[in-house]
Structure 1
Amino acid sequence: MDNQAPTTPVETWTIQDEQVGTRLDRFLASQVENLSRSAIQQLIADGSVEINQKPATKPGYALRLNDQVRILNFIPSSAAKDIVPQDLPLDVVYEDADLVVLNKASGMVVHPAPGHYDDTLVNALLARYPELRDHKEDVRPGIVHRLDRDTSGLLIVAKNLQTQVALIEQMKDHRIEKRYLALVEGIVSLDRGTIEAPVGRDPRNRQQMTITSVDSRDATTHFKVKERFNHHTLLLLQLETGRTHQIRVHLKAIGHPVVGDPIYGTGRIRFGITLQRQFLHAYQLRFIHPHSGEVIELEAPLPPDLQSVMDDPKHL
């Protein structure tokens, strides 16, 4: 988020011995792909970079041992002005004056990012809900949480700043229940269980996440077996935290990656299954409406591409 809503750090680094003395902008350019030094300098000017929990002011700041460097927003404010409304289809599951819950299609990116400013959910939201355009400097207007591009399912969007702030606080306090369906490789032996392992950026590949104790955040995923097949298991998962790629990283860690996951799984579709993406769907959502106090419980059935896999169990 930008400064109109509570900011959650999206990336954090602790400076090590070999990085001492490096210019701040040069260091960040080496850590973040697809972000030029000029873009990083704009982020610093926007106040989107912090050192030891204080806004960085100089791109040439010489890093010191154990400095904590954080980027709060990867999109320079100048880029926000270029985000245009686009009339793209949206599947609305629930809507009132304050918020809307969408069933996001696989393949749709939630918000603009470097190199991808069009055809996102935000572009579609700006066209459907003109009031969101008032947040001119926000590249994530109304967005409370996100789903990976190829993950389908339920997503909450706030229509006004007050609702957005309240829902973000619910999210931080783990009061929004999110459950997912995932078809995973192999037979999961436990009927239910909990995966607790910190998730952070993979130092060898900055575009991926991994389980690590370095610059990571605690992550907890609960799972329950819904059905076992010959070669696969259908899991119902509930997130206690919402780290980037958390489910996919955690399932890989226990030896049962999501079927079709090109990054954390084998990426190979075997046993005759026809699927063009990972089998992961945000299935159920439960939260308290920030203004009415009503408990909202919603469910989105599996989309056709995932349901067709389940309809042909001989391949499972």
Structure 2
Amino acid sequence: MNKDTTTPPQTSWTITEEHVGTRLDRFLTTQIDTLSRASIQQLVSDGAILINGKAASKSGYALRLNDRVQVQTLIPSSAVKNVVAQVMPLDIVYEDADLIVINKAAGMVVHPAPGHYEDTLVNALLARYPELKSQQEDLRPGIVHRLDRDTSGLLLVARNLQTQAALIEQMKAHQIEKRYLALVEGVVSLDRGSIDAPIGRDPRNRQQMTITSIDSKEAVTHFKVQERYQHHTLLLLQLETGRTHQIRVHLKAIGHPVVGDPTYGTGRLRYGITLHRQFLHAYQLRFTHPTTGATVELEAPLPEDLQSILDQPEFL
């Protein structure tokens, strides 16, 4: 789906025969989908990547059997200093002393990345919640999971490191429930079902993900039909895992890509539909509050651009 996600990436490995002789930077780009080779090379220069407990001397190091590779940070040293607080509107659904839930607008990137340090949710959060600056050891202070730029909906943010660590542990244990609404192409025949297919980086296009058994991770998406139309289906989806672009990749795989998805769908809109992004919205969120132990359940209705599509069933 959208980089909706997520469980924090693995940051340590023991090299097996499969990867013996592979360049260090090439190996890491296949293991950590958020890092480019240039970023990894910068991390090597920073001394942030260890081989058998010692800083790697070069990004082209050829891996050996049983080498222990450790990545100490995912953010190059040159990046953090470029992130500044920016006052931007935020739709706050819930907040207390420990955490915030945002109803993210479509079009907003969640956190900065090398080459894109402005106009992200993190920039807005730093302006509204100055205490997050104390967490700014990387480009994602407080971020627990992500949504793609053009996916709207509920996003959980921690206001302190203890809460962030606790929520990430809940995420790893599949204790945070995230449900999405998606309008897909075609009529889905099953009333409900599950898609269990591993996802990894597409070797032919490094900017995309695909279902593959090579350098992939387990990915499970559950779906339930909410409404069938003549040419489309509205689905309620729940993630068991949080892989990059998981929903979008899985729905493409079953022949029902998300309407308006230019990457994993046709990107073409038919039957009179006008939409400027994929029809995907993080609709419901349920988690246990790390401090109080209370169950928090939240819902964000479809934004106007998506709801207007459903209000015209004659086009669906």
> For residue 57 of structure 1, what is the aligned residue in structure 2?
56
CA contact (8 A) 2:135 2:160 kept: no
1:123 corresponding residue in structure 2: 123
Alignment partners' CA distance in 2, 1:255 and 1:218:
20
Q: Distance in 2 between matches of 1:182 and 1:51?
A: 43
- In structure 2, relative to structure 1, the CA distance for the partners of 1:55 and 1:181 (3 Å cut) is farther
Per-residue CA deviations over 1:190-224 (Å, capped at 9, x if unaligned) read: 00001100011111111111101111111110000
1:275 match? 275
Instruction: Give unpaired runs (5+ residues) of structure 2.
Output: 1-6
Relative distance call for 1:91 and 1:13 in structure 2 (3 A) is: farther
Q: Alignment partner of 2:250: what SS?
A: helix
Q: TM-score, normalised on structure 2? A: 0.88
RMSD of Structure 2 on Structure 1 (CA)? 2.8
SS at match of 2:167: helix
Relative distance call for 1:150 and 1:85 in structure 2 (3 A) is same
Alignment of 1:231-310 (within 5 A): 231-310=231-310
CA shift for structure 1 position 113: 1.1
Q: Does 1:149 align with 2:165?
A: no
Offset, 1:240: 0.6
Pair 1:106-2:114 in alignment: no
Q: Give the equivalent residue in structure 1 for 2:78.
A: 78
TM-score, with structure 1 as normaliser: 0.88
Aligned residue runs from structure 1 range 179-194, under 5 A: 179-194=179-194
CA distance in 1: counterparts of 2:280 and 2:54, whole angstroms:
37
Deviation at 1:122, TM superposition (A): 0.5
**Separation (CA, whole Å) in 2 of partners of 1:74 and 1:199:** 21
Q: CA offsets per residue over residues 46-98 of structure 1, 9 Å max, x none?
A: 5654668x675222422236878676755312211110001111100001110
Distance in structure 1 (CA, Å) of the matches to 2:54 and 2:255: 41
Q: Which amino acid counterpart does residue 113 of structure 2 have in structure 1?
A: A
Q: What amino acid sits opposite 1:258 in the alignment?
A: V
Amino acid at match of 2:227: E
Q: 251-260 or 66-75: which moved more? A: 66-75
Between 60-69 and 117-126, the greater mean CA deviation after superposition:
60-69
- Report the Cα distance in structure 2 between the residues aligned to 1:261 and 1:134, rounded to whole angstroms: 37
Contact 1:9 1:70 in 2 (8 A): no
1: CA distance between counterparts of 2:280 and 2:8?
27
Q: What's the CA shift for 1:41?
A: 3.3
Distance 1:255 1:244, change over 3 A: same
Q: Supply the distance in 2 between the matched residues of 1:287 and 1:55 (Cα, whole angstroms).
A: 39
Q: How far did 1:22 drift?
A: 5.5
In 2: Cα distance, 1:104 partner to 1:55 partner:
41
Partner of 1:3: none
CA contact (8 A) 2:15 2:64 kept: no
Match of 1:88, SS state, is coil
Matched, 1:41 2:41: yes
Q: Distance in 2 between matches of 1:268 and 1:72?
A: 42
| 1:9 lines up with 2:10 in the alignment | yes
Give the direction of change, closer, same or farther, for the CA distance of 1:179–1:11 in structure 2 (3 Å limit). farther
3-state SS of the aligned residue for 2:181? Answer: strand
Report SS of the residue matched to 1:292: coil
Given that residues 145 and 156 in structure 1 are in contact (C-alpha distance below 8 angstroms), is that contact kept between their aligned partners in structure 2?
yes
1:25-40 equivalences in 2 (<5 Å)? 25=25, 35=36, 37=38, 39-40=39-40
Question: Partners of 1:13 and 1:210 in 2: how far apart?
Answer: 25
Partner of 1:137: 137
Report % sequence identity: 72
Q: 1:135 offset after TM fit, Å?
A: 1.9
CA spacing shift, 1:9–1:202, aligned 2, 3 Å? same
Which one scores higher on RCO, CA 8 angstroms, separation ≥ 6?
2
User: Structure 2 counterpart of 1:40, which letter?
Assistant: I
* 1:197–1:28 distance in 2 versus 1, CA, 3 Å: closer
* Residues 161, 30 of structure 1: alpha-carbon distance in 2 compared, 3 angstrom cutoff: closer
Write the letter of the residue equivalent to 2:219: A
Q: Deviations over 1:154-195 (max 9, x none)?
A: 000000001000000000000000000000000000000011
CA gap 1:66/1:303 in 2 versus in 1, 3 angstroms: farther
Alpha-carbon distance between aligned partners in 2 of 1:93 and 1:127, rounded to the nearest angstrom: 18
Inter-partner Cα distance in structure 1 for 2:249 and 2:15: 22
Contact 1:13 1:215 in 2 (8 A): no
Structure 1 Cα separation of the partners of residues 72 and 267 of structure 2 = 31
Q: 2:184–2:234: 8 Å Cα contact kept in structure 1?
A: yes
Name whichever of 141-150 and 108-117 sits farther off.
108-117
Partner residue, 2:204:
204
